[in-house]
């Protein structure tokens, strides 16, 4: 092989070796995820997001290497529409949407996002019209149902376990919640079985926060002995006010979000949000690897958290029965 032939051979060999590398560089892609939150619930809880990111790392998605995570937070109704339009323009690979965001981002929502896979956490995605069914979601949305409203009867049972002589419960109801009628029917059925009477105190999401103060004053006049807080973004946003009013009026209460017990509520019973965050990352991973949301059945939770704030109990002069205390997954002392 002369010099010219050898030179041509080396060039050809180099081209053959470089071809797979070039192909790998062309096919290697940085995935882009948008975390969508809004002003009603605030930004995603830090603990949940830490778990979400860690699970993605475990699955091989590393920020700064093959993954970009962008947070979009709508502070107003106008921003929701603006963000929806911007997301559609940028075309991320997946959207991870907070509970109220997922309803608004749905095709039937007020700020729909079309053609982009969306992973959600939502109480009842079928009733919320996010999916056609749990087994066959259809469309561009899938994720996890967290059984928020389905646990209200259990929460009432826990109140009765702590206060066996309880006969009258005040129920905070968000009157314009899309599942208002269903929630009320279910807690009324549970109350009948527990031989307790319910007094509903209904507040619309657009009413001023002071309306909650008025509701608690009315509870005292009606002889309410304890409070059950039903679901509602307005109540979640005002959770510190609600727990402060319950403490002020010495009304023990149970609510749905773990953040409530941290804010001073006596008890909460909720789906384990950290576990949902971990499982949501697995959904995102499947979609990034080519799965279609319509082919991924919506999962339901299998872990729950019962939390008790003993500081609040002490301030109210209450004693939590030992059998109930032993059932708690988390106790704030």
Instruction: Read off the pLDDT of residues 206-215 as tens digits, 9 standing for 90 and up.
Output: 899 999 999 9
* Nearest Cα residue to 125 out of 244, 108, 254: 108
What's residue 178's pLDDT?
Answer: 80
Alpha helices in 119-238 (DSSP H): 152-162, 180-194, 210-221, 233-237
pLDDT of 95 > 60? The answer is yes
Torsion of CA 241, 244, 246, 247, to 10 degrees: 180
Summarised one tens digit per residue, pLDDT across range 241-262 is: 999 999 999 999 999 877 788 8
The average pLDDT across 12-36 equals 60
Task: Tell me how long the chain is.
Answer: 333
Residues contacting residue 127 through CB under 8 Å, at least 6 positions apart: 178, 179, 182
Summarised one tens digit per residue, pLDDT across range 152-187 is: 999 999 999 999 999 999 999 999 888 899 999 999
The residue written with tokens 């009842």 in the block is 124
The average pLDDT across 277-300 equals 96
Q: Phi/psi of residue 241, each to 5°?
A: -65, -45
Question: Helix (H, G, I), strand (E, B), or coil: what is residue 203?
Answer: strand
Mean pLDDT over the full length of the chain: 88
Please spell the DSSP secondary structure of 158-172, one letter per residue.
HHHHH-TT--EEEEE
What's residue 10's pLDDT?
Answer: 41
Torsion of CA 258, 260, 266, 269, to 10 degrees: -30
CB count in 10 Å sphere of residue 82: 14
| Overall fold of domain 31-146+273-295 | Rossmann fold (3.40.50)
Residues contacting residue 318 through CB under 8 Å, at least 6 positions apart: 162, 252, 266
More confident residue, 23 or 184: 184
235: confidence class by pLDDT, cuts 50, 70, 90: confident
**pTM exceeds 0.85 for this model:** no
pLDDT of 196 > 50? The answer is yes
pLDDT of 13 > 60? The answer is no
Question: Which tokens hold the place of 88?
Answer: 């559609």
8 Å CB contact between 169 and 226: yes
* Nearest Cα residue to 228 out of 249, 209, 251: 251
8 Å CB contact between 139 and 120: no
What's residue 15's pLDDT?
Answer: 43
CA distance 81 to 74: 9
What's residue 146's pLDDT?
Answer: 83
Query: How many Å is the Cα radius of gyration of the chain?
Result: 25
- Domain spans in the chain, listed from the N-terminal domain onward: 31-146+273-295, 149-255
1: confidence class by pLDDT, cuts 50, 70, 90: low
pLDDT of 104 > 80? The answer is yes
What's residue 27's pLDDT?
Answer: 45
8 Å CB contact between 162 and 320: yes
Q: Phi/psi of residue 308, each to 5°?
A: -130, 135
pLDDT of 101 > 70? The answer is yes
Residues contacting residue 67 through CB under 8 Å, at least 6 positions apart: 30, 31, 32, 33, 56, 61
| Overall fold of domain 149-255 | Rossmann fold (3.40.50)
């Amino acid at each position: 092989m002369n010099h010219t032939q050898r030179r041509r051979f080396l060039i050809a060999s180099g081209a053959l070796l470089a071809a797979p590398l070039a192909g790998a560089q062309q096919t290697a892609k940085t995935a882009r995820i948008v975390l969508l939150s809004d002003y009603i619930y605030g930004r995603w809880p830090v603990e949940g997001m830490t778990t979400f990111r860690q699970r993605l790392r475990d699955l091989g998605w590393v920020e700064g290497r093959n993954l970009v995570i962008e947070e979009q937070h709508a502070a107003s109704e106008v921003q929701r529409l603006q963000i929806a339009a911007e997301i559609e323009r940028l075309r991320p690979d997946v959207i991870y949407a907070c509970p109220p965001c997922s309803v608004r981002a749905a095709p039937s929502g007020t700020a729909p996002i079309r053609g982009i896979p969306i992973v959600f956490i939502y109480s009842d995605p079928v009733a919320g019209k996010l999916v056609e069914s749990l087994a066959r979601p259809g469309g561009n949305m899938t994720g996890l149902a967290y059984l928020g409203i389905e646990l209200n009867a259990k929460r009432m049972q826990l109140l009765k376990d702590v206060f066996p002589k309880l006969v009258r419960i005040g129920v905070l109801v968000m009157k314009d919640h899309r599942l208002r009628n269903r929630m009320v029917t279910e807690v009324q059925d549970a109350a009948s079985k527990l031989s307790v009477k319910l007094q509903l105190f209904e507040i619309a999401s657009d009413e001023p926060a002071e309306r909650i103060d008025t509701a608690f004053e009315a509870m005292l006049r009606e002889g309410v002995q304890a409070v059950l807080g039903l679901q509602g973004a307005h109540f979640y946003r005002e959770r510190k006010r609600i727990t402060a009013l319950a403490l002020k009026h010495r009304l023990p209460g149970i609510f749905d979000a773990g953040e409530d017990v941290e804010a001073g509520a006596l008890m909460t019973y909720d789906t384990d949000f950290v576990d949902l965050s971990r499982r949501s990352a697995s959904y995102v991973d499947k979609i990034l690897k080519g799965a279609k949301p319509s082919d991924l059945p919506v999962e339901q939770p299998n872990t729950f958290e019962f939390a008790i704030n003993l500081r609040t109990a002490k301030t109210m002069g209450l004693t939590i029965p030992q059998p109930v205390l032993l059932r708690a997954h988390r106790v704030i002392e």
